[in-house]
Amino acid sequence: MAKAMGDGKGAGVFMGIVGGIGAVIGLWALSALTLSLSQSGASEVLRQYMVAIGLISEQATLVDFYTHIKGVEYLICVAFFFAFPAFFKYVNTPKVTVPGQR
């Protein structure tokens, strides 16, 4: 029966290769972050990251700026609509009392 199911060595080798690739990528990312922090400082690295992912951008007109702010506001509202009912349920749960205690 062990022959039919395999002994798992192939899966172990595969996981070792994937883990090795992940370790190399992690070391590369850590060294890139360390080098960039040492050369330009944390605030500049954070600014460049935010520009790269689109959180910071040049707004050409007031309408562009307002549209961006409105989109962020909608995201905050959606987050609130999901978070508030959960918080309300957590706050208004009945208190459990144990018999024999005050």
* Model confidence pLDDT, tens digit, residues 28-63: 999 988 888 888 888 888 888 888 887 777 778 888
Q: Say which DSSP state 84 is in.
A: H
Domain range list for the chain: 10-54, 58-92
Contacts of 59 (CB under 8 A, 6+ apart): 65, 68
Torsion sign over Cα 72, 75, 42, 38: negative
Q: Are 73 and 79 in contact (CB under 8 A)?
A: no
* Cα–Cα distance, 90 to 8 (Å, whole number): 46
Rounded to an integer, the average pLDDT of 74-84 is: 94
Q: Roughly what angle, to the nearest 10 degrees, separates helices 42-53 and 9-40?
A: 120
**Higher pLDDT, residue 95 or 84:** 84
Residue 25 has pLDDT above 90, yes or no: yes
Rounded to an integer, the average pLDDT of 72-86 is: 93
